[in-house]
């Protein structure tokens, strides 16, 4: 059982092998440190195993299936039945996950990062104990990066049972398409999975506690998505306060108050996606004095330092936007700071993406945020209805909107709802990082016919409205 | 009011490496952009932490 107390010594220990942790480990190793990474599960963390990647695979399957059913619109007659083979779909999704986690394994190997499986507990400020099934080992480190991530937030009145009442994790591993699915929470996770399963044939109801779907997202963008949800038969009920629910064996009954009225929703599955909470409560942080905020996120400075010297934190467990790319970015910063470089969290434009139908993506400031920051903003939209590529894809819902400062023309933000918005936003983030003017976007030749022309066109109209 | 620093990511990185607080640098670029040269000049001309 317990191996001798001889501690292993490493330069850098990374706890958690998600997109923050593995990028941090690789970068620290590239900068000449001896690195050990510990995770209690598979490499790749939530994003690869039960988050971004599997959800996008299922979304793709739903999208392709829906397109086949609509193929007649563009003259493709599908004769015979188009059916979903859920077993095969899940096998394919799992194979995608496996390829990517295998890739992370190769990345660790290639950078000579030692990979250890086990639970981590802080013994002291400079040592942790790693407990695996049949062994326990103390590691002494010079620096440590905490990248323990987050987990689905559980409602006390509707606890996960993994069978009928699901977190996103189980919702990504269903062996059948639900006949009826009730989604509690209209944030991006609930919306993405709800949409995907609706396209695969489920009757989906989304219960959102606030007055709008995707709280926190510009409602001009959300409106287009709501319209499409209606079209594909997803019922969205806002101001719905869930009171509880019960697994009745073959089905689940969810109770909610909607406009003061008690209502019951019966379905074969209920997905609870009301948020995520940081994994900072079971590793002994309180004993070594690492400060948390009131929601349990680790407090960090702009170099990913916690309140304790030599202890760094990145990604979801350190709060802010809970995004994989934000975690990876911080992973590099932390590793570089440990290696003595003067890196810092310093970005102008974080891209936000929701894989809804159509996709939503935005970066920088909205018109309202720009006003709050003291700019005199002007915003111009260009519709995908006027974009040749979008029309020829038969996906012309939505628009791209460009926000700039009226006096200087400085590009402040871009919001997109429409096909491939998730890819289109990269140009916008780059432009903002480079300090581009809206005019710079309009003077850049965009290939025709392509979707990014929409951004150029929006910028083009915006330039005409500037004070010159 | 938050003042946006107008400098490319690589220029902001250069400033950090040279120990320059970029908000103190005088911008000579168009529309108030801080260039790499601005940062270098600032570092040479009296930054306490220059390399």
DSSP A291-334: -B-TTSPBP--TT-B-SSTTEEE-GGGG-SS--HHHHHHHHHHH
Q: What ipTM, to 2 d.p.?
A: 0.88
Residue-number span of the structural domain to which A183 is assigned: 165-274
Indicate whether A54 and A201 sit together in one domain: no
Task: Let me know if residue A456 belongs to a domain.
Answer: yes
Mean pLDDT of the residues in chain A? 96
Chain B residues whose beta carbon lies within 8 Å of the beta carbon of residue A365: none
pLDDT at residue A133, as a whole number: 87
Residue of A435, A463, A468 to mutate for B, most B C-beta atoms under 10 A: A435
- The last residue of a domain, from among A251, A274, A297: A274
Tell me the pairing of strands A261-267 and A252-258: antiparallel
Indicate whether A432 and A420 sit together in one domain: yes
Q: Indicate if the pLDDT at residue A195 is higher than 80.
A: yes
- Cβ A224 vs Cβ A359: under 8 Å: no
What element of type H or E holds A49? helix A45-50
Pick from B1, B8, B19: which is nearest to A435 by CB?
B8
Question: How far is B23 from chain A, CA to nearest CA, in Å?
Answer: 13
Q: Indicate if the pLDDT at residue A177 is higher than 90.
A: yes
Q: How confident is the model over A83-92, as pLDDT tens digits?
A: 999 999 999 9
Tokens found for residue A198: 């609706």
Chain B residues whose beta carbon lies within 8 Å of the beta carbon of residue A409: 31
pLDDT at residue B48, as a whole number: 47
Pick from B6, B16, B32: which is nearest to A344 by CB?
B16
Alpha-carbon span A22 to A31, nearest angstrom:
14
Indicate whether A455 and A367 sit together in one domain: yes
Indicate whether A93 and A119 sit together in one domain: yes
> What's the whole-number mean pLDDT along residues A345-363?
97
CA distance to A19, A137, A320, B12, per residue, from A323 (Å):
9, 32, 9, 23
Our count of domains for chain A comes to 3
Task: Let me know if residue A281 belongs to a domain.
Answer: yes
Task: Let me know if residue A158 belongs to a domain.
Answer: no
**A239 three-class SS:** coil
Q: Indicate if the pLDDT at residue B5 is higher than 90.
A: no
φ/ψ of residue A106, rounded to 5: -65, -40
Q: How confident is the model over A91-109, as pLDDT tens digits?
A: 999 999 999 999 999 999 9
Indicate whether A123 and A219 sit together in one domain: no
Question: How far is A346 from chain B, CA to nearest CA, in Å?
Answer: 8
Tokens found for residue A404: 């700039």
Indicate whether A407 and A324 sit together in one domain: no
pLDDT at residue B46, as a whole number: 59
Q: Indicate if the pLDDT at residue A272 is higher than 80.
A: yes
Q: CB of B33 within 8 Å of any CB in chain A?
A: yes
Pick from A341, A346, A373: which is nearest to B12 by CB?
A346
Tokens found for residue A290: 């690492």
Task: Let me know if residue A50 belongs to a domain.
Answer: yes
CA distance to A171, A214, A288, A324, per residue, from A275 (Å):
15, 12, 28, 15
pLDDT at residue A3, as a whole number: 52
Task: Let me know if residue A201 belongs to a domain.
Answer: yes
CATH number at residue A233: 3.50.50.60
Task: Determine whether the interchain pair A346/B17 forms a contact, defined as Cβ–Cβ distance below 8 Å.
Answer: no
Alpha-carbon span A158 to A167, nearest angstrom:
11
Indicate whether A226 and A306 sit together in one domain: no
- Whole-number percent of chain A with pLDDT over 70: 99
pLDDT at residue A56, as a whole number: 98
Indicate whether A303 and A449 sit together in one domain: no
Indicate whether A364 and A412 sit together in one domain: yes
Question: How far is A250 from chain B, CA to nearest CA, in Å?
Answer: 55
> What's the whole-number mean pLDDT along residues B36-44?
95
Nearest residue in chain A measured CA to CA from B8: A434
Q: CB of B1 within 8 Å of any CB in chain A?
A: yes
Q: What stretches of A384-438 adopt beta strand conformation (E)?
A: 399-405, 411-418
Chain B residues whose beta carbon lies within 8 Å of the beta carbon of residue A408: 31-32
Task: Determine whether the interchain pair A343/B16 forms a contact, defined as Cβ–Cβ distance below 8 Å.
Answer: yes
Q: A158-165 — which CB contacts under 8 Å span 24+ positions?
A: A158/A184, A158/A242, A158/A244, A158/A245, A158/A254, A158/A270, A158/A272, A160/A272, A161/A247, A163/A247, A164/A247, A164/A248, A164/A251, A164/A252, A164/A268, A164/A269, A164/A270, A165/A245, A165/A247, A165/A252, A165/A270, A165/A272
- The last residue of a domain, from among A338, A363, A388: A338
> What's the whole-number mean pLDDT along residues A287-305?
97
**What pTM does this model have?**
0.95
User: Nearest to residue A335, comparing CAs of A123, A142, A145?
Assistant: A145
Angle at alpha carbon of residue B40, lines to B38 and B41, rounded to 5°: 65
> What's the whole-number mean pLDDT along residues A151-156?
97
The string over A169-189, giving b where at least 16 C-beta atoms fall within 10 Å of a residue's C-beta and e elsewhere, is bbbbebeebbebbbbbbbbbb
Task: Let me know if residue A160 belongs to a domain.
Answer: no
- Cβ B6 vs Cβ A435: under 8 Å: yes
The count of other CB atoms within 10 Å of the CB of residue A89 is 20
Task: Let me know if residue A344 belongs to a domain.
Answer: no
Alpha-carbon span A300 to A183, nearest angstrom:
34
Pick from B8, B13, B17: which is nearest to A434 by CB?
B8
Nearest residue in chain A measured CA to CA from B29: A435
3-state DSSP helix/strand/coil % of chain A, to nearest 5: 35, 30, 40
Chain A residues whose beta carbon lies within 8 Å of the beta carbon of residue B19: 342
Q: Indicate if the pLDDT at residue A204 is higher than 80.
A: yes
First-to-last C-alpha distance (Å) of chain A: 76
Alpha-carbon span A461 to A441, nearest angstrom:
11
Task: Determine whether the interchain pair A374/B4 forms a contact, defined as Cβ–Cβ distance below 8 Å.
Answer: no
Q: Return the half-sphere exposure (C-beta side, CA atoms, 13 A cut-off) of residue A402.
A: 37
Q: How confident is the model over A101-150, as pLDDT tens digits?
A: 999 999 999 999 999 999 999 999 999 999 998 889 999 999 999 999 99
- The last residue of a domain, from among A249, A274, A299: A274
- Cβ A438 vs Cβ A411: under 8 Å: yes
Indicate whether A142 and A289 sit together in one domain: yes
Indicate whether A269 and A287 sit together in one domain: no
CB neighbours of A70 closer than 8 A, spacing ≥ 6?
A394
* Position A370 confidence tier, pLDDT thresholds 50, 70, 90: very high
A448 is catalytic: yes
Q: Which of A310, A325, A446, A448 is catalytic?
A: A448
CATH number at residue A380: 3.30.390.30
Q: CB of B16 within 8 Å of any CB in chain A?
A: yes
* Angle of helix A421-433 versus helix A453-463 axis, rounded to 10: 50
Q: How confident is the model over A8-65, as pLDDT tens digits?
A: 999 999 999 999 999 999 999 999 999 999 999 999 999 999 999 999 999 999 999 9
Task: Determine whether the interchain pair A433/B9 forms a contact, defined as Cβ–Cβ distance below 8 Å.
Answer: yes
Indicate whether A244 and A141 sit together in one domain: no
Task: Determine whether the interchain pair A435/B12 forms a contact, defined as Cβ–Cβ distance below 8 Å.
Answer: no
Task: Let me know if residue A346 belongs to a domain.
Answer: no
- Cβ A132 vs Cβ A12: under 8 Å: no
């Amino acid at each position: 059982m317990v191996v001798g107390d001889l501690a292993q010594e490493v330069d850098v220990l990374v706890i958690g092998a998600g997109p923050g942790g593995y990028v941090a480990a690789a970068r620290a190793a590239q900068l000449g440190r001896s690195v050990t990474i510990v995770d209690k599960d598979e490499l790749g963390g939530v994003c690869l195993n039960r988050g971004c990647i599997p959800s996008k695979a299922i979304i793709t399957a739903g999208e392709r299936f829906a397109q086949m059913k609509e193929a007649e619109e563009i003259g493709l007659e599908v004769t015979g039945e188009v059916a979903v083979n859920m077993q095969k779909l899940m096998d394919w999704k799992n194979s995608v996950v496996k390829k990517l986690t295998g890739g992370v394994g190769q990345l660790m190997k290639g950078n000579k990062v030692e990979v250890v499986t086990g639970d981590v507990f802080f013994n002291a400020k400079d040592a942790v104990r790693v407990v695996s099934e049949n062994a326990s080992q103390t590691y002494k480190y010079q620096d440590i990066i905490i990248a323990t991530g987050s987990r689905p937030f559980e409602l006390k009145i509707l606890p996960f049972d993994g069978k009928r009442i699901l977190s996103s994790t189980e919702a990504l591993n269903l062996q059948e398409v639900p006949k009826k699915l009730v989604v509690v929470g209209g944030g991006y996770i609930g919306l993405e999975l709800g949409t995907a399963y609706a396209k695969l044939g489920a009757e989906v109801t989304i219960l959102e506690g606030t007055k709008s779907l995707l709280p926190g997202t510009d409602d001009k963008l959300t409106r287009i998505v709501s319209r499409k949800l209606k079209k594909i038969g997803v019922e969205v009920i806002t101001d719905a306060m869930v009171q509880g629910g019960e697994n009745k064996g073959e089905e689940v009954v969810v109770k909610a108050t909607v406009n003061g009225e008690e209502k019951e929703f019966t379905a074969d599955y209920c997905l609870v996606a009301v948020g995520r909470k940081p994994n900072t409560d079971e590793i002994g942080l309180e004993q070594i004095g690492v400060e948390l905020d009131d929601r349990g996120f680790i407090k960090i400075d702009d170099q990913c330092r916690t309140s304790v010297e030599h202890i760094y934190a990145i990604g979801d467990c350190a709060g802010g936007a809970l995004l994989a790319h934000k975690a990876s970015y911080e992973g590099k910063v932390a590793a570089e700071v440990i290696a003595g470089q003067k890196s810092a969290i310093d970005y102008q434009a974080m891209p936000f993406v929701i894989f809804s139908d159509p996709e939503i993506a935005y970066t920088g400031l909205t018109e309202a945020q720009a006003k709050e920051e003291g700019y005199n903003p002007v915003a111009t939209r260009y519709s995908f209805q006027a974009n040749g590529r979008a029309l020829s894809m038969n996906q012309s819902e939505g628009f791209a909107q460009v926000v700039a400062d009226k006096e200087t023309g400085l590009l402040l933000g871009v919001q997109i709802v429409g096909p491939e918005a998730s890819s289109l936003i990269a140009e916008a983030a780059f432009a903002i990082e480079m300090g581009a003017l809206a005019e710079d976007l309009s003077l850049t030749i965009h290939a025709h016919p392509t979707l990014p022309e929409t951004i150029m066109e929006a910028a083009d109209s915006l330039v005409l409205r500037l004070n010159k | 009011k938050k003042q946006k620093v107008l400098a490319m990511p690589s220029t902001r990185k250069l400033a950090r490496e040279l120990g320059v607080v970029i908000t103190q640098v005088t911008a000579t670029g168009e529309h108030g952009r801080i260039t790499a040269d601005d940062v270098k000049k600032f570092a040479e001309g009296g930054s306490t932490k220059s390399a």
